[in-house]
Structure 1
Amino acid sequence: MGLGLTTTQSAGATEHASGHGTGAIRRTASTSSEEEEEEDLEEDSEDLEEDELELVPPTDLTSVDQSERYSDIRQLLAKQQSGIASAHTHEEFVVDDGYDLEAFNQVNGVWPLGHPLPLPDWASSEAGKGTLCFDNVWQYEELNGIVETTLQRMLEETHYNTVNLFVDFYRSFKRTRRSDLRSFFQFYDVPINRRHHMCVSLAFEIMARMVRLFPVLAKYLYVVSCEEQVMDCPDYVQLDKECGLNSVDAGVEKEHVMVAMRIAIGERHGVMILDPGYHVSRAVTVMQDQSYPHTGWFTQSKEPHLQRDYCYAYSQQSGKFVEWKEREIRGEDTSYKTSLIYVAQEYITAIDVTVRRNLVYNFRSLLSRDAKGQVYAGIYFPLVANCQEAYLTIFYDGPNEQRVRTKLMFSAFKVGKAKLPDYVGQHLSRLAPQLKMPLQELTELCKSLAEVVTDQNFIGQVLGINDDIGNMSVEN
């Protein structure tokens, strides 16, 4: 689900949340609010007369007229735009401090009685996204480079953050004065914004940024679901064929989300995969023939004790799936995991299923990444049944390129209005700049977390729901 500690068809096309069947629950769609405008820092270059060229300073090569930027790619996209309906604009994807969920075709899934999660759902094939066609490899390389640069900048500018969402979830529950978390969880309107990102909103954000550059890409980029660490890939694919992944019998979590775009280079077909939730800084190319520009194996992270490599390829069992293989090398030991990305259709319950599932996961993190996707600072912690044993791990870059990593008991933060212990304050003062957070904000967040994780009743119920979801999907 994009936990990511690598360092160490439109929604209106069909009635998906129709509530068919005994006990199915109908809920209203989530909403978002407040605006965060992005400033355009580009300057328009001035046209120079030919006879003036020797009399003026050299042109600033970083200052290019907006109409001339990426002119080759714009021409390619304009050619394919003719004959199709106008695409969503950036403003339709980004609304105030959040996202236009209709632009992302997000709906609520059916929630059968007794099931621990809503059922996932996808847009109909008729409402599917198109295939972006290229005449040759170099055209694709140019767009891929633009996407990758945009992705890397976004990784550097954003956090991976499941901490604030968890605190919001807790506070909302407490405000109701209810005792049963399970019923509250079922009707909780999950908030999504552009400040506190996990894999779903990171997918929305990279799509919004790319559509801002090239509006027609709204017709091609789409959200895709991922089932992590599948035990038996052939059985999972067969499950889709027999009953569909949006059935109770499938028992899937869909705990992670990525972005995909179908491509064709001449007669060759493939898909581009973007995964900011796992800090992947590459615009990964998956070709059906596995020939260039197919990405193949690459090193995602490398540290003295652990190297983690990724590879993406179409499943041999079904072209509807891309297999994401992860290879971990620890000294002389090598282990493999395989996850399945469902690329056949647009995933339209990313918030209702994936974000909701993440709310009760038993591990939380807040991480800073660099442009290459390396995690260099952050906090993380497991949820533990015995709240007296709850602890927080913080890590950051120390002097002389040394990584500082330490565990702090949450009890150290339960000081009320008193001053934190000196050793805790020192660690937070070094961590805060690397998280790009004011020290006071980070301190208050840690104090809030201490309140949450030491609420024995709340944590016990969260772990109970998490166990039920795990038991539902254990065979996957």
Structure 2
Amino acid sequence: MLARVAARGGTVASHFYVASAEEEIDDVEEYVAGCRPPERNENDHCLMACQVRVSGRRGVLLIDSGYHVPRTVCVMADRLPPHTGELPMDCLSGQLTHGYELSPNHKFAICSINRTTAAGTTSTDRTCIFIGGHFENPYAFAEYRNIFHTLRSRVRRSPEGRLLSGFYFSLRPAGHGAPALTVFWHGTDGQRRRCRLPLSELSQPELLTEPQLEALQAAGRQLRLSPDQWQQLLQRSVDALSDRKFIDRVLQVNERILYELGTDDPPSGWQRPDV
């Protein structure tokens, strides 16, 4: 991300730094009361931040690919322009709306995420982004969690937040459903379409039907990838889904991260994997 900012010229890239974010905070006021996150925390992902002043007014710019936010967000302490305000985005399961504010001590940006499912159910989660300093330890919980997260995806959004195309797959324990990769794209009628492709067929392209091939081509094209880039990305995904030993090891490491480094309580009978 920094390289893309730097490529636009000027010195703005030198003012960005890596910030950390912790999701689903219950007591936001207590969390942001200090000058740093609590000693016991789970920084779920990282993003880019740049503190700014507009005519003496404090604010921060955020570039957040971890949440697939399709534009640079500006969070002003007084919530006046150029404050981004609410940012609507759609997702495969419904609608998201991100809202941003700065904490009273200006050490955190608080992101409120309102979710509305297709069935009309609503919920709100709040994420605290520490902007008072650089993310100092890329080998702690956040980086481990990103590397070993069991849901992998790549998506493309419009600047207005519309989900355009992408694909995703999950790494699951043996016996928990056949492995598969799902692609989604928009048809000529403007409607979003989705196609689930079992690994057994992806591993043998000659078994793919014409509609499945068309789905793959449409998703890759709308991701703005060349045929070679799309084929390489698909092949790497197929290789990962085909390697049972690799998946089992990732799942084991993921459990250790959650139950030893993190704050989640292990399920009854859980034993520490030997990894």
- The verdict on a shared fold, with TM-score over 0.5 as the criterion, is yes
The aligned residue for residue 209 of structure 2 is 422
Residues 144 and 257, structure 2, Cα contact 8 Å, conserved in 1:
no
1:398 aligns with 2:187: yes
What amino acid is aligned across from residue 78 of structure 2 in structure 1? D
**CA shift for structure 1 position 325:** 0.7
Identical pairs, percent: 26
> Could you report, residue by residue, the CA deviation over 1:43-64 in whole angstroms, capped at 9, with x for unpaired residues?
xxxxxxxxxxxxxxxxxxxxxx
Distance across 2 between alignment mates of 1:367 and 1:321: 27
Residue 273 (1) aligns with residue 69 (2)? no
> Does 1:335 pair with 2:131?
no
How many pairs are equivalent?
A: 261
Q: CA 1:373/1:348 → structure 2, altered by over 3 Å: closer, same or farther? A: farther
CA–CA distance in structure 2, aligned partners of residues 420 and 268 of structure 1:
60
Residue 370 (str. 1) matches residue 166 (str. 2) = no
Higher helix share: 1
Deviation at 1:441, TM superposition (A): 4.8
Determine which of 213, 227, 230 is the counterpart of 2:9. Answer: 213
Partner of 1:474: 263
Counting only pairs closer than 5 Å after superposition, residues 151-166 of structure 1 correspond to structure 2 as: none
Shift of 1:451: 3.1
One of 228, 236, 239 as aligned partner of 2:23:
228
Q: CA deviation at 1:357?
A: 2.8
Helix, strand or coil: the match of 1:436? coil
Q: For residues 341 and 370 of structure 1, what CA distance do their matches in structure 2 show?
A: 24
Q: Secondary structure at the match of 1:419?
A: helix
Gaps of 5+ in 1: 1-201
In structure 2, the residue matched to 1:326 is: 113
Structure 2 matches for 1:38-77, cutoff 5 A? none
Contact 1:311 1:324 in 2 (8 A): yes
Query: In structure 1, what residue type is equivalent to 2:6?
Result: A
Report the Cα offset of residue 384 of structure 1. Answer: 0.7
Deviation at residue 234 of structure 1 after TM alignment: 4.1
**Per-residue Cα deviation, 1:383-437 (whole angstroms, up to 9, x for no partner):** 110266211111111221122201111121223xx72422433322333322333
Structure 2 CA distance for partners of 1:444 and 1:293, relative to 1, 3 Å: closer
Note closer, same or farther for the CA distance 1:446–1:333 as it changes in structure 2 (3 Å cut).
Answer: same
Q: How far did residue 369 of structure 1 move?
A: 3.0
Q: 1:404, 1:293 → 2: CA distance?
A: 35
Q: 1:449: which partner in 2?
A: 237
Instruction: Give the drift of 1:307.
Output: 2.2
| 2:6 alignment partner, SS class | helix
Q: 2-side partners of 1:259 and 1:344: how far apart?
A: 13
Residue of structure 2 aligned with 1:432, choices 207, 210, 220? 220
* Aligned residues of 1:411 and 1:450 also touching (Cα < 8 A): no
Per-residue Cα deviation, 1:105-160 (whole angstroms, up to 9, x for no partner): xxxxxxxxxxxxxxxxxxxxxxxxxxxxxxxxxxxxxxxxxxxxxxxxxxxxxxxx
Query: What does residue 97 of structure 2 align with?
Result: 309
Partner of 2:88 in structure 1? 299
Structure 1 partner of 2:47: 258
Helix, strand or coil: the match of 1:449? helix
Change (3 A) 1:235 1:460: farther
| CA distance 1:269–1:368, shift in 2 (3 Å) | closer
Q: Which amino acid aligns with 2:27?
A: D
Question: What is the CA distance between 1:366 and its match in structure 2?
Answer: 2.1
Question: Whole-Å Cα distance in 2 between the matches of residues 369 and 234 of structure 1?
Answer: 32
Normalised by the length of structure 2, the TM-score is 0.80
Task: Read off the aligned partner of 1:378 and give its amino acid letter.
Answer: G
Unaligned runs of 5+ in 2: 266-275
2:243 partner letter: D
Cα RMSD after superposing both structures: 3.0
Q: Which residue of 2 aligns with 1:408?
A: 197
Q: Provide Cα deviations, 1:14-33, integer angstroms capped at 9, x if missing partner.
A: xxxxxxxxxxxxxxxxxxxx
Q: 1:302 to 1:460 in 2, by over 3 A?
A: closer
Larger Rg: 1
Out of 345-354 and 394-403, give the one that drifted further: 345-354
